[in-house]
Amino acid sequence: MTRPLAVPGGTLALDSEGLAKAVLRDREVTAWLALARAEDMRVITSAVTLVEVVHPRIKRTALHWTLSRIVIEPVTEHIARCASDLLAEVGLHGHKHAIDAMFCATALSAPGPVTALTSDPEDIAALCGEHVTVIKV
């Protein structure tokens, strides 16, 4: 597997699947997190992602340990407005895309360059455009 280059000082953003796999210590996501540490990248997720990530396979203690090592960005009015604008730009709407849009608005607000780990690369890439490198996990 050829891994796209991450740029030192950038941001690594985890969507719900990226965060869930970090909690479960998935090898690929663990390698990305190690790379982020080595390259002094900021690792973030959106506060809204916390709601989406909880399911029966996620152990709460492992989740809290993982969250203690990343930055949880709040969903502010600014982020919500940006998310609404992103949805309008690509012709999407509704609850099906709302969480992805808030995640993307958060990623786009982070110091660049930004790399996003996601299980939904098509929607995330559509919402973020060329401003975020999207990696399927």
User: What pLDDT was estimated at residue 56?
Assistant: 85
Distance CA 86, CA 106 (A): 11
pTM exceeds 0.85, yes or no: yes
User: What pLDDT was estimated at residue 3?
Assistant: 47
**Which element (helix H / strand E) includes 118?**
strand 114-118
Angle at the Cα of 117 (from 112 to 41), degrees rounded to 5?
40
Domains of the chain: 11-136 (3.40.50.1010)
Distance CA 125, CA 5 (A): 17
Spatial contact of 125 and 115, defined as CB atoms under 8 Å apart: no
User: What pLDDT was estimated at residue 1?
Assistant: 45
Number of H helices, E strands in the chain: 7, 5
pLDDT along the chain (137 residues), means of 10: 58 97 96 96 96 88 96 98 97 90 98 96 96 97
User: What pLDDT was estimated at residue 5?
Assistant: 55
